[in-house]
Amino acid sequence: MQQKIIEGIINGDRRMVARAISLIEDEASEKETILSAIFPYTGKAYCLGITGAPGAGKSSLVDQLLVLLRRQGLRVGVIAVDPTSPFTGGAILGDRIRMQEHALDKAVFIRSMGTRGNLGGLSRATKDVIQILDAFGKDVVIIETVGVGQSEVDIIKYADTTVVVLTPASGDSVQTIKAGIMEIADVFVVNKADLPGADRTVSEISMMLDLGGKKRAWRPPIVRTITLDGSGVGELHRALLDHREYLTSSGRLEKAREDRVRRDIVDLIEYKVKSTIWRQVSGSAEFELLVSRIMSRETDPYAAAVQILRSINLNGLSP
Ligand SMILES: Nc1nc2c(ncn2[C@@H]2O[C@H](COP(=O)(O)OP(=O)(O)OP(=O)(O)O)[C@@H](O)[C@H]2O)c(=O)[nH]1
Ligand SMILES: [Mg+2]
C-alpha cells in the first residue's frame, strides 16, 4: 500500500495524494516511509504563505492569485490551515465554495487542515503536506493561515515568501497588530481598499517599516487590493515575483532553505524524543506516584523529572 501511495504521488495521482495527507493528519506510522521515499522528488515547489486576521480576505486573494498563476501555466497546491478550528475532515466550507471553480482544474489541488492537538502539531503536519504537494509536481504551494498567535507564525516559517493581509475595516491600528506577524511580512496587502481608511492603514504600515531607521535589503511593498473587482491583484502578483527574484538572485532562498533543513532535523529529533518519553511515562504508575508525592511535598518536580529520565529507555526511538 505504501508503495502504491508513493508511486501515486510521484506519478500525479490525486487520490494517492489525498491518502497520504490523511495518513499525515492521523500521524500514522507509514507517513515517515512515504515522506522519506518522496524526498528526492521535492525541492522544486515555491512556497507562498498568506496570513492575516480572520475574514481579512485571504481566501478571496488566493482565489484570484490562482487565476494569474494558472495563466502562467503553473501547477498550484493550496493548503488552508486554520489553527483555531478543529479538524473537520478536510473541509473549511467557505474556502471550498469560493475556490470551487478551481477544484475542477486538475492542475490545482486544494486541501483544508485544522488542528488536532497532537504531539507533532499542525506546523509539522503542514510541512509534511507541503512536501507531498511538492513531490506531486506542484510548482507553487500556497499556505493560507489565520493570523492569531504563535502557531501560525510557525506554520508560515515554511513559506519562501510571506504575505500579511490587513484591512482598513478591522479598525486595528497597525501598532496593535502582533509584532510577530508584522515582522514576517515580505509583502503587505491592504485588502478591502474599497472601504474607508485604506490610506491610513497604508501609511501606518509604511511608518512602521521606517521605524528604527535600519536599512533593509528588501523593503516589503504595500499593495492595495479589492478582491470584489480584482483590482491590485496583478500588482500583488508582480510583488511576489519581485520578491522571489530578490531571494533567488541574492542567494537568500538557498540560505533560508538550508536553515530550514537545520531546524527541521532538530524539530524531528525533539518530536521523536518527546513522543517516545511520553509514551513510556504518561499514565504510568511511577508517574502517578510521583505526582502524589509532589502534592504531599515529599518530593519536588525537579527531583521527579530526574528520576523519570533515569528510567527512560531511548533505544529504539519510536516514529
Ligand atoms: N468590501 C470588501 N469585502 C471583501 C473584500 N475581499 C473579501 N471581502 C469579503 O470579506 C469576507 C471574508 O473573505 P475571505 O476571503 O473568506 O477572508 P479570509 O481571510 O479567507 O477568511 P477566513 O479564512 O475565515 O479567516 C467575505 O465576505 C468577502 O466577500 C474586498 O476587497 N472588499
Ligand atoms: Mg479563508
pLDDT per residue as tens digits for the range 146-170 = 876 666 677 778 899 999 999 996 6
pLDDT over 70 at 120, yes or no? no
Cα–Cα distance for residue pair 275/280, rounded to 1 Å:
9
Mean pLDDT value of segment 271-298: 91
Residues with CB under 6 A from ligand 1: 52, 54-60, 94, 146, 191-192, 194-195, 226-228
d(CA 129, CA 20): 8
Best mutation site among 60, 144, 236 for ligand 1, i.e. most ligand atoms within 8 A of its Cβ?
Answer: 60
More confident residue, 216 or 205: 205
Sheet architecture: strand order including 108-115: 108-115, 76-86, 140-146, 46-52, 161-166, 187-190, 222-224
More confident residue, 174 or 183: 183
**CA 279 – ligand 2 centroid, Å:** 36
Q: Is residue 45 scored above 80 in pLDDT? A: yes
Distance CA 319, CA 314 (A): 12
Rounded CA gap, 66 and 53, in Å?
21
Mean model confidence pLDDT for the chain: 86
Return the ligand 1 atom nearest residue 61 CA. Answer: 15
Cell of 86: 478543529
Radius of gyration of the chain measured on its C-alpha atoms: 22
Mean pLDDT over 290-316 rounds to 92
Which ligand is closest to the CA of 231, given by its number? 1
Report, as an integer, the average pLDDT of 48-67: 92
Please say whether the beta carbons of 62 and 55 come within 8 A.
no
Query: What's the pLDDT band for 93 if we cut at 50, 70, 90?
Result: very low
Q: Residue 274's pLDDT is what?
A: 86
Instruction: Give the model's pLDDT for residue 149.
Output: 63
